[in-house]
Structure 1
Amino acid sequence: MSDLKQLTMLQMVVVFISSMIGIGIILMPRDLANTVNSQDLWMSIIFGAVAVSVVSCLYVALAVRYPGLTFYEMSTRILGKFMGFTFNFFFTVYTLIVAAYILRVTGGIIKNYLLDTTPLSVVIGTFILVSMYLIYNGAGDIVRFFQLYFPIMMVMFLVLCLLSIKNFDINHVRPVLQNNIWSTISGVKITFFSFLGMELLLIFAKLIKKKKAKHLLMTMWTSIGLTALIYVVFHIISIGVLGVEELKEITFPTIEMAKSIEFQGFFFERFELIFIFGWLTTAFTSFTAYMYALTLGLKNMFTPSRWFLPVAGALIFTLTLIPEGLTEVFHYSPQIQLISVAAIVVLPGLLLIVSLIRGNTYAA
């Protein structure tokens, strides 16, 4: 049974980082290279982290004013039953779309590099079932799982970075600031969405008590900063190993970077498997966080039922199988980004504005 009553600051950092690092570390290098077209594209991640840090103030302000309440409970308390239901419905749809997007990309990578003859439905079905098993007992088990596997993920990423240094060419990352600074800043429209997961503070807020809320902003900024550091390191290494021109052409540059690692006479040759296995854990944690948010949304909008977890799984499974290939999946990215902006910026912003106008708060 899940008996976790509140999150410690360390657990919050682990949950936020585990939710943010997902498919972004795989897809962002190519998108960023095509957008910025410069060796210092990694600086766009820093600008994106700053933008995300500003937006995170919305979530912290809401969590402080309504301690112990989730987004779904805050919206009905602030806006009333009807408008609150509307906001909750939109946010629930957002979590469904993001969960399906994460799973479809993850399934495509598993098919390409590990299980090429396994039907996609089996791959994503297994992912969903394992996630449902983890979610069944509530947020406590989810947090403990994240906390257990977080060090393993970090060790695998560190190993890949160290092994890649052999192929690193410093000339690939120079010069810095060759392009106009506005070109680098334009990459924020890519990097911002690689920090998706920060908004789940409003989902796990149930486990954040009022006495912890005063440290919440620093906890959020620490999580965003560490995530940005991981992204920056991986991008600098990717540029140094592959170069900007190759990043533009390769669909999954980070995996190809791992494939380039070679040590003659070493008993293990496929080093990309080290990265893929580590990355799959991050993809799973990110997906599980959104599936949990989806399930919680369904329970809050309708009469609570034990059937909402399999309903959430069925919805994700159906939506994930709609695109015929990854090319079609990537075609939907601009629309998903627009929906994301509405869900993680506009909705919380409106809730905070209305709350401030009405002057209502909640004492846990």
Structure 2
Amino acid sequence: MSPLALTLGEPAGIGPEIVLMAWTLRKAALLPAFCAVGDPDLLRARAGLLGLDVPVVACKPEEAARLFGDALPVHPAGPTATAAPGRPDGTSAPAVLESLERGVDLVLEGRACGLVTAPLAKSVVYGAGFPFPGHTEYLAARCAPPGGAAPRPVMMIWSPELAVVPATIHVPLRAVPDLLTIELLVETGHIVHRDMRRRFGLAAPRLAFAGLNPHAGEGGTIGSEDEDVVRPAVERLMAEGVEARGPLPADTLFHPAARATYDAVIGMYHDQVLGPVKTLAFHDGVNTTLGLPFVRTSPDHGTAFDLAGTGRADPSSLVAALRLAARLAEGERAARHAEQAA
């Protein structure tokens, strides 16, 4: 299988150093081969600053698996990044965006089996004219066929303890009830069901839908959204062959006995489900994008400018993202092989 493509993220953040740290853990963590995409000199400089013994070798992705045991393979992309840890400069945005663009090219060309993205600083790339809210929307746009619509991406935060999907993401809480529709929840449920079967290898994924209101609305006495939107969406999904339950009270949905009854929770808003998963798995949670034609994961944290260059960054989430990406890429490869054989 081809290596994973790993973008470096914001040069002034912790992205470059957790990439270096992850490579040093390649044997202990049984990491799949990956090829960093970005500026090799940035990685050499950051390794020197942190005292990490990491040989960095510029190469093509096709050479990465052979080199990976002895050196960190890097596919050069973007300008030389001069930003110091914690201090983005004029090279930051071009370095981030060219690394990201080239990483997507590699997966679309079949030269990488999946994409893992280190964190970017939205304020930095917005200042350079980046027109997308974040990684996810950019990736979906890159997958749009000529003249066609982009696929709808769905954000899942996955960990061994809990997998969650927010139906609405970075929107004000007061906007959530108006954004929730039966169609949105049905489409989200189908995307989660399909990718959990295809890539996670679950024959019949069990989806639990959290209610929007306290006690899932108490039969409509505490808000009407759960009876008018969530319940009909769940019923439609069940009629269409998806194992789904809900609306369920969110306050009793995340204890161990409840978690044993489902494979993923679809929540109505961001903090409803991200709070529990980050409480349970702060260091090994993984952000994975469902609904794309290729595998994409990322660490479930930001650039951490305050930690950059200190050596105190924790690579655990990136290690988990690399391992999950390899697992999902193998699931995708097997699914495509089965389709071709049918």
TM norm structure 1 = 0.27
Higher relative contact order (CA 8 A, sep 6+): 1
TM-score of the two chains, using structure 2 as the length reference: 0.28
Q: By percentage of residues, which structure has more strand?
A: 2
